Structure 1
Amino acid sequence: MSPTSHASAAASPWRTLLPVFAACAAIGLQAGVALPLVPLALERRGVDKLTIGIVAAAWAVGMLSTAPYIPRLAARLGAVPFIIAAVVSGSMLTVAYTLTDSVAAWFVLTFLHGVVGGVPWVVSEIWMNVVVEEKRRGRVMAVYAILVALGLALGPFLLQVVGVYGPRPFLTCAALALLVAVPLLPYWKTAPRIEHHADSNYLQVVAAAPLAMLAGFACGLGEQVAFSFLPVYAVGAGVAAETGALWLSTFVIGNVILQWPIGWMADHFDRRGVLAGCTLASMALVLLLAAVPAQSLAVIAVIGLWGGLSFSIYPVGLALLGQRFGGGDIARANTAFSMLYILGGLIGRPLAGAAMDAVGDPGLGWTLAVFYAIAGIAALLAFHRGR
C-alpha cells in the first residue's frame, strides 16, 4: 500500500465520524439553550421550587422509561432515520410549550421530551463506538465531549440575544433541534449499521463492565449536581449570582481544555489508571472547594480543574465500554451507560440538597467526594488487578 493509501485509511475513521461530531455539537448547543428555559419560566410565574424540580425531573424519567428500547429501534429503523424522527418530534414538543401555561401540561411535555431526547444522544454514542478504531477510542470520545461542552457553553450566550422569557427562546430551541438533523441527512442510508442481540440484557452488560458503568453513574451524579447546585453554592458563599453563573461557565471551559490531553492519555496508558486519576483528583478538588475563599482567583482554578477532570470520567468510561464490547452488545452497553448517567443525577441531586440543608454549603463537596471516591477506589483496584 502506498503512503497516500495509508494516509487515506488512517483518515477514513475520522471522516466517518464527522457527521455525528457535527450533530453532537448541535445537540450540545440545543441543550445549552433548552436547560434553563422551563425552570426560569415556571419561577417567573411564581411556581414553587418543589414543583419546578418535579417538572425538571420528568425528562430523566421519560428517558429512563424508554431507553431500553433504543437499540432495538435503531437496528430496525437505521441510525439516521431514528435520530431525525426523534429531533423532529422534540422540535414539535418544544413549540407546544408556547401554546399552554398549564404546569401539568408542561410536566407531560417534559416527560415526552425525555422519551425522544435520549435518542440522538444514545444513538450517536453507539455510532462512534461502532466506527472508531481501538487505538483512537479515547481521543474520539474526548472530541465528542469537547463538542457537546462547547455547545452547552454557547447556549447561554445565545439566550442573551433571544431572551429567556416568552415564545421566542422556545421557538429558537425548536429550530436548533432541527439543526441536529442537517449533517446526518446525506448519511440516511450509509450510516453504520447498528446490531441488536435479542438475547442480551442490561443486567448482563452492567455485570460484564462494572467499572465503566460505575464511571457513568459517578460522572452523571457529579455533573448534574454541579449544574444544579454550583450557582446556589456560590451565592451561599457570598458571591453575586452573576458571578455564580460564571463559575458554571468555568466548570464547562475546564472540560474543553482538558478533554484532549486526557483522551490522549486514555489511548496511551491503561484506561483504568486514567479513570482512577480523574475520579480521585475530582474527589480532592470538591473537598478543596470549601477550603478556598470564594472571592479569590484560586476558586476559579479549582472549579476549572474539577470541571475538566470530572467531565473526563464520561469519555474514559465510554472508551472502556467500547474496549469491552462489540457487535450488537455495544448498543445495549451504551444505552445502559447513558441510563446510569441519568440515574446518577436523579439520586445525586436530592442527596446533595439534603446534605447542604443539614450541614451547610460544604455538604455539596462531601456528597460528591463520597461517590468520586467509590469510583476511584474501584478503578484503582481494577488497575492493580489488571497489572
Structure 2
Amino acid sequence: MSPNSVPARRPLVPILAACAAAGLLAGASWPLVPLALERQGVDKASIGVIAAAWGIGMLLTATRIPRLAARYGTVPLMVGAVVVGAAVSVAYTFTSSPIVWFALNLTHGAVDGVPWVLSEIWINMVVEERHRSRAMAIYAILIAAGMALGPFVLQAVGVYGPLPFLTCALIALLIALPLLPYWKSAPAIAPQAGSGFVAVVLAAPLAMLAAFSTGVGEQVAFSFLPVYAVGAGVAPKTGALWLSAFVVGNLVLQWPIGWLADRVDRRAVLAGATMASAALVLLLTLAPAHSPIVLVIVLLWGGISFGIYPLGLALLGRRFRHGDIARANTVFSMLYIGGGLVGQPLTGAAMDQFGDVGLGWTLAFFYVVAATGALLALRGSEGDRHVVE
C-alpha cells in the first residue's frame, strides 16, 4: 500500500502541507539559539535551560488551545499564532542577551504549540482507524522532510547573525498559506469537558510514555547534537548537517514503521524502536566524530526514534474518539514537551559533568524506560487489534 492510498480527505491535505512547512521552520530554527549561545561561551547547562524555555511556554498555553480553537476557529487561531511566531523570530536579532532570549524562547513556545497541537487533533479526527499508523507516518515524513531541508537553508544563510532569524520568520509565514482557503471549513474542534491530566495519562499510559521519551530524544538532539559535534571538533555548519542526517532517517524508515504498526501489535513495534534507539545513542558516544559511521548512526537513530512519536499518536487515536481526542492530544503534546524540559537540562548538566558521553547516557536511560513500559504492556492487557486491508 502506498502513501497515496491513505484516504485523501479534503480537510487532511492542507494540514499536511502546513506540517511540511512547520518541519522546515523547525529544522532551520532549532539549532540557532544553542549555537549562538555556544559561541558566546555560555555553559551547556544554561543552554539547556534556555532551550527548555520553549517547552515551558508551550505548557503554559497547551490546555487552552482546544477551547481557543472552538471559540475563534481552527485556522484563524493557527494563522494568528504563526504571525506572532514570525515576529518573535525577528525579535532575536535585536539582542544577544541570554536572559532576553529565554523570554523570547518562552514566547515562541507559547505560540508554536498552537499549530502543532491543532494539526495532530485535525489529523486524528479525520483519519480512519485502519489507516491511522500510516497516516501518522505520512505526517511524520512531511515534518521530517521539512526538517531535513532546514539545515540546508542554514548552509545558504549561515548560522550566526540576524539573517538566519529573519529567514525563519519568512518560513513561518509559509505555514499559513495552505490553511487560508480553509478559514471557515476546517474540522470544528469541540473539546469535551472531562477528567484531568492524570486521568488522561492513566487511560493511555503507553502512548503518553512514548510522547515523553520522544520529547527527550528529539529536543535533546536538536538542542545538543550540533553542540556535541562542535565540541568533538566538527565545524558548526557540518554539525548542523548532522541534524539533516537525523531527520533523513525518518524519510527512509517512517513509512515501513507505520506499515508494520498497522499489521502487528503496535506495542511490540514501540518496544523494538525504543530498544534500538537506546543502542544507537550509546554507539554514537563510541564512534569517532569525523568518521562516516557517525552519519550512519545518526541517520538510523533519527529514523527509528522519530517513529516512536507517531506510534504513540496511533495508540492514542485508537483509545480516544471525537471531542475526547482534542483533550488527549493536548496532554500527549504536553508530555512530549515535558520530556524536553526534563531531558535538555539533564543532558546539558551530564555533558558538563562527564563530557560528550553524557548525551548518550542520558538519552539511553529514557529510551530504556520507554522500552520497559512497552514490554510490560505486551505482557498485560489484550493485544492491540487493528484492521488490516
* TM-score (normalised: structure 1): 0.89
Residue type of the alignment partner of 2:24 = L
Matched, 1:64 2:62: no
* Residue aligning to 1:183: 178
Do the aligned partners of residues 276 and 167 (structure 1) sit closer, same or farther apart at CA in structure 2, a change above 3 Å counting? same
CA distance in 2, matches of 1:324, 1:283: 27
* Mapped contact 1:279–1:372 kept (Cα < 8 A): yes
CA distance in 1, matches of 2:67, 2:377: 32
* 1:215-240 Cα shifts (integer Å, max 9, x gaps): 00011111222223334444555655
Matched, 1:325 2:324: no
Picking from 213, 219, 222, the partner of 1:227 is 222
Q: Where does structure 1 lack aligned partners over 5 or more consecutive residues?
A: 1-9
Give the number of the structure whose alpha-carbon radius of gyration is greater: 1
* Residue aligning to 2:163: 168
CA distance in 1, matches of 2:275, 2:186: 38
Matched, 1:200 2:212: no
CA-CA distance at 1:166 after TM superposition: 3.9
CA distance in 1, matches of 2:206, 2:225: 27
Residue type of the alignment partner of 1:113 = H
Picking from 378, 384, 389, the partner of 1:383 is 378
* Residue aligning to 2:356: 361
* Residue aligning to 2:261: 266
* Residue aligning to 1:6: none
Report the 3-state secondary structure (helix = DSSP H, G, I; strand = E; otherwise coil) of the residue aligned with 2:262: helix
CA distance in 1, matches of 2:346, 2:316: 28
* 1:148-192 Cα shifts (integer Å, max 9, x gaps): 111112122122333344443333222211111110111111111
Picking from 92, 97, 103, the partner of 1:97 is 92
Report the 3-state secondary structure (helix = DSSP H, G, I; strand = E; otherwise coil) of the residue aligned with 1:194: coil
Matched, 1:304 2:299: yes
Q: CA RMSD in A?
A: 2.4
CA distance in 2, matches of 1:362, 1:99: 35
CA distance in 1, matches of 2:36, 2:290: 30
Q: How is 1:226-265 mapped onto 2 (pairs within 5 angstroms)? A: 226-235=221-230, 243-265=238-260
Report the 3-state secondary structure (helix = DSSP H, G, I; strand = E; otherwise coil) of the residue aligned with 1:196: coil
Residue type of the alignment partner of 2:324 = D
CA distance in 1, matches of 2:187, 2:126: 7
CA distance in 1, matches of 2:219, 2:6: 35
Do the aligned partners of residues 33 and 303 (structure 1) sit closer, same or farther apart at CA in structure 2, a change above 3 Å counting? closer
CA distance in 1, matches of 2:271, 2:313: 14
CA distance in 2, matches of 1:249, 1:313: 18
Report the 3-state secondary structure (helix = DSSP H, G, I; strand = E; otherwise coil) of the residue aligned with 1:268: coil
Picking from 207, 210, 214, the partner of 2:209 is 214
Q: Where does structure 2 lack aligned partners over 5 or more consecutive residues?
A: 384-389
Q: Does 1 or 2 have the higher relative contact order (CA < 8 Å, sep 6+)?
A: 2
Do the aligned partners of residues 298 and 175 (structure 1) sit closer, same or farther apart at CA in structure 2, a change above 3 Å counting? closer
Q: How is 1:127-142 mapped onto 2 (pairs within 5 angstroms)? A: 127-142=122-137
Residue type of the alignment partner of 1:337 = F
* Mapped contact 2:121–2:325 kept (Cα < 8 A): yes
